[in-house]
Amino acid sequence: MARYVMGLKYPKDITDICCQTPYCIYLYQNVDLGDTERANVILVGFFSETVGKSVIRFFDVTQCTAESVQTAFDCFVETLKKFDIPIHNLAAFYSEGGASADDDNFLSRLKEISPNVVNMGSLCHMVDCASKSGVAAMSTLVDELVLDIRNHFLSSSKTNQKLKELFVNVEPFDSARPASAQCLVLSEIIKKMLAAWPDLIKYFQSRTLKGDKIRVICERLESHKVRVTFLFLKHALEPLCAFSLKLQNQESLLPLLLKDLSGTLRAYAGRLLLPEATVKLLKSQDLKLLGKAENVLPHSELCVGPEAEKYLTEHEDDLGAADKAVFFKDAALFYSAVIMQMLQRLPLNDSSLRNISTLLNPACKLKITGKMVVDLASQLGVCSNSEETSQLNDEFLEYQLSESDTGASLSCLSMQQYWSNVLKSSFSGSGGQLSVFQRLMLTLLCLPHPALKAEIAFSKAVENGDASLIDDSLSRSEWEDTTDLDLTNGTEDSFQSAEEPSSPPRPKQNAETSSTDTENVIIQSNQKTAKSSSDVGDESFWDNSFKEEKKSKTAICSSTPRKAAKKSFPYTDGKGFRVGELVWGKVKGFSWWPGLVAGWPHKQAPASMRRVEWFGDGMYSEIYTEMLLPFAAFSECFSNTSYADLPAYKDAIFQSLKIAGERSGKTFPPCKKDEQQKLMVEWAFKGFQPGGAEGLKPPEITEPAVVIKEDPMEIPIQDYQPPVKKIKYYSKNKGAAEQDYTREQMVQEVLQKGKKLEDFCLSCGTVRIEIFHPLFEGSLCLKCKDNFCETLYRYDEDGYQSYCTVCCAGQEVILCGNSSCCRCYCIDCLEFLVGPGTFEKVKEVEPWHCYLCLPSKRYGLLKQRPNWSVKVQEFFVNTSAMEFEPHRVYPSIPADQRRPIKVLSLFDGIATGYLVLKDLGFKVDRYIASEICEDSIAVGLIKHEGKIEHVDDVRSITKKHIAEWGPFDLLIGGSPCNDLSIVNPARKGLFEGTGRLFFEYYRLLNILKPKEGDSRPFFWLFENVVAMGVRDKQDICRFLECNPVLIDAVKVSPAHRARNFWGNIPGMNRPLAISLNDKVELQACLEHGRIAKFKKVRTITTRPNSIKQGKQEMLPVVMNGKEDNLWCTELERIFGFPKHYTDVYNMGRGARQKVLGRSWSVPVIRHLFAPLKDYFACE
């Protein structure tokens, strides 16, 4: 039997494996073997590529000794040596201890001989230690009060039996430890005490004559400060309890646990610290940040929980100023102590935890960058030199851009089976050794469950005694649990679906279990969307190149198909939002979405959560009440952008307003759906009159009396988001509370009370500002900032902005009459910011020039920034909300040492890059261009006399090609924008369709970058549209590790053409200057005898309609007294190309406009390339 348990080839097989692959040591001390015998049991764990799962094997058994830590550690090391187990392959260590000083000393000695070993056992007791530290830091004696009351009921026979059961039947309660060191127990006791608080006071008041101890208990229970502290603790312990329950689940997958661990830490950091301090703490783990008052949120914004806030408000007069100050100080001390304990016990830093969870998730392989993988490998000791770092970069990029793992294959494989296939199929090192990427993944896959109980570990070891008996133990549902992982790198960026859904992604509803663990479902999209007629460029040739790919796309989102619930239960937690109520719900990354509160499918509804059915698709979500708003907040939540772009959102608005109308008794005249919907929206914006918010309430129904037990410990842990300013408790003696404002109230505050306009969001009036408004004096909140980024450069077919220049919203707008201006202003902005009646007045002015065209002065509250053109660029540089290390700086090359430049141009178009390099006088040694449009290739070949080497599809360029063609000095390119531009409502985003071609640029950029120690200058430039989704832009920034520079060609040419440029060319952010040869007005581009009607024209695209200008869609040229279109030669001059540049192969006007519409502006590229003259040889 022993032979079977240890394995048929023991110990040679274990020794051989540990010599070749990373492994984990499990140490269970003082294990009861029966017959009063005890021993220390050592196991070894590793990931087996052969069988596709993690394996645990018995390793050795040693005697228990009462000797010193050093002796125990020496015995452990001798055991490894006895079996020739190499210490350098020890990746992780697990011990059920971790809570004592001896355990810490043992680990510190282990770190001395293996510095990069990951200690997962420290998480076993993290929750209880954090709870104990947090409670101990507070002035209120919580432990003492709980223990005194419990002891009283246990020792007294004549007690209230109902109250006695609150404390006696709490399991498992260890009387040898304080309640605060038992987080789940403490949380349950606190909830029970709060529910019975009046009864407890009444009981102990009746017994005050029984002794001093009773009197002390009674005084504490009567104290408002003590009670509000217990209310705070009920709220403050919830994330710890939620993580503890998941930790105790032995079937939980490691990626989910690591994500939840990071989420718990972020939740506490966000409750205590300012957003900037939170980011610094998570990055640096510097505990000193917790002790600095300037990093902590003010008392008014400290998160103490809704029940505590309500109690403070209701008992404001009873609580003295001193008690209130102590309470808020205690709350801050609790959070600080909890965060400190968690940071000290983290096995790795926060970003590494999240990156591990993302890297292990195959569905998220495009969500993590090579730099993050290298940083993770360095922390784990996998990369020890620059050669290994470079090798890992190459191997990870090969895996990241491989196409082998289709959605179909992922759906039927467990996570471990998937990685077994990946690691077996490729990435083998030389000489039979592991490659760097293999070693990294095997290290991660051998990490142990953070709370693996001894009996379960022994059971697995027995099963694995003979490796031939091993079978797969992971179910399909466990695999799907890993697909909800997201990625942030010290910022708040969570995983978005590959194909942007038409409605928010939502947590899965599990109708069969009370677990709140989210489980992702792969939704097969069978809907076909027609290609948008909006201006995104003619990219049909790229679409055709994808025909060989699967037509059905998969979107990973936390949603589940609608199911008919057999039974549902009402909510009795007093948080509002009852069954049947119309609400707005907020899911991260999406606009506020209308929904209907549904009954909870189980009896145990988590506190502060609601089940919401979303209009538009009929799916459900479980969502916090804090992320819900009443439907009456229509004007605040309604999104013009989503309403214009997303058909599902428009349907959702119609459905919700239809129900609202039925409840309010509002009738609308019979007409077409669009007209009726317009009437509905107008009615909603006017406040749902005459019934108002009351008229929206659901009809009263008789609900069954169901007792619902609150279980806040089942609340899923949320990712950290910077806390917004909320209206919390304020003392009446301290003046008015900080509150939110409408724009009408904002105007009154500025004009009548002298407040600064910069302290308000110019678009909505809130004081929760995020950044300056780039065009006018004032600021923008986070929501309006994101909206502004996406819509400022969005234009309708008439050439004017789609939305108001001030607020990037607005139902009714007036257009600027300046022929060269394309801006518009909504009625609300004019009425509120300029003055009542302004809209009607300017309608009578013809032509009316807008507030950016008029002389710079104040019009009411509206005043343009004197440097607004510079501020716009600064604004867009900051919109990714990320900070990056500066690019490597290359010193200028002496003139006599400069050599000709070698260029690789991806998505080359009509060779704008080559044309500019030759215009600037560069000696071009080699210019290799990847392009698949035949017309564009023809232009480059003919106009540059065959000096450009054209290659095929960018996806066919390999590392071998680069080695043959290179080394290159400059990489340029701009991937197709049709699946990125928000103008296209059917866009698929960065990770699908043509958007995915960005990763081909990223792949080749990583191949081309010089290795460490190579001083050869290397430059790169990537371009794409400004009007893309904020999340897509952030992802591009994250991969390219820099923020873009926004450049609009209108400053150096007659046409608008705003584009984002990422790169490392020196001076990219310097001001755009006009050169002597630049034609900046349309007249300068026209042929003889033709007259320009405008100085500047709108952005010229591939669509013929883009030539038309202004409200009346006039053609921009007059010839012989008649309007005329722009000629092809004139279009070429507008873009900066020589005359007849595109006149090849008898190409027609439409084809010539298409190749020009996809090209770059020559003066802009000349501006960007000019600094390269300090590095490369010129004529």
**And the tokens for 33?**
């073997």
AA identity, residue 969? D
Cis peptide leading into residue 847 (ω within 30°): yes
Distance CA 489, CA 283 (A): 9
Distance CA 780, CA 770 (A): 6
Question: How many angstroms from the chain centroid is the CA of residue 981?
Answer: 20
How far are the Cα atoms of 386, 890, 1008, 1011, 1017 from residue 1014, in angstroms, in the given order? Answer: 11, 11, 12, 6, 9
Distance CA 114, CA 522 (A): 41
How far are the Cα atoms of 123, 157, 241, 484, 720 from residue 259, in angstroms, in the given order? Answer: 13, 48, 16, 10, 11
CA angle 1055, 1059, 1064 (to 5 degrees): 130
Q: Are strands 949-951 and 924-930 parallel, antiparallel or unpaired?
A: parallel
Closest C-alpha to 980, from 1042, 926, 1028, 1047 = 1028
Instruction: Please report which residue ranges of 42-196 form alpha helices under DSSP H.
Output: 69-82, 101-113, 126-136, 142-155, 161-168, 183-195
AA identity, residue 391? Q
308 within 8 A of 228, measured Cβ to Cβ: yes
What DSSP letter does each residue of 837-893 carry, written as one string?
A: THHHHHHTSSSPP-TTTS-S--BTTB-B-TTHHHHHHHHHHTTT----PPPPPPPPP
- How far apart, in Å, do the first and last CA atoms of the chain sit? 84
How far are the Cα atoms of 246, 483, 515, 936, 1155 from residue 249, in angstroms, in the given order? Answer: 5, 19, 10, 59, 59
AA identity, residue 27? L
Closest C-alpha to 843, from 829, 827, 863 = 827
Distance CA 1036, CA 974 (A): 12
93 within 8 A of 27, measured Cβ to Cβ: yes
Strand partners, 814: 825
Strand partners, 524: 554
929 within 8 A of 905, measured Cβ to Cβ: yes
Q: Where are the beta strands (DSSP E) in 615-669?
A: 620-624, 628-630
**And the tokens for 1131?**
């279009």
632 within 8 A of 692, measured Cβ to Cβ: yes
14 within 8 A of 43, measured Cβ to Cβ: no
Distance CA 91, CA 104 (A): 18
Q: What is the dihedral of CA 490, 492, 497, 503, to 10 degrees?
A: 180
571 within 8 A of 579, measured Cβ to Cβ: yes
Phi, psi of 20 (to 5 degrees): -105, -25
Question: How many angstroms from the chain centroid is the CA of residue 319?
Answer: 41
Q: Which residues are catalytic?
A: 977
Q: Where are the beta strands (DSSP E) in 572-727?
A: 582-585, 593-598, 609-614, 620-624, 628-630
Q: What is the DSSP letter of 831?
A: I
AA identity, residue 213? K
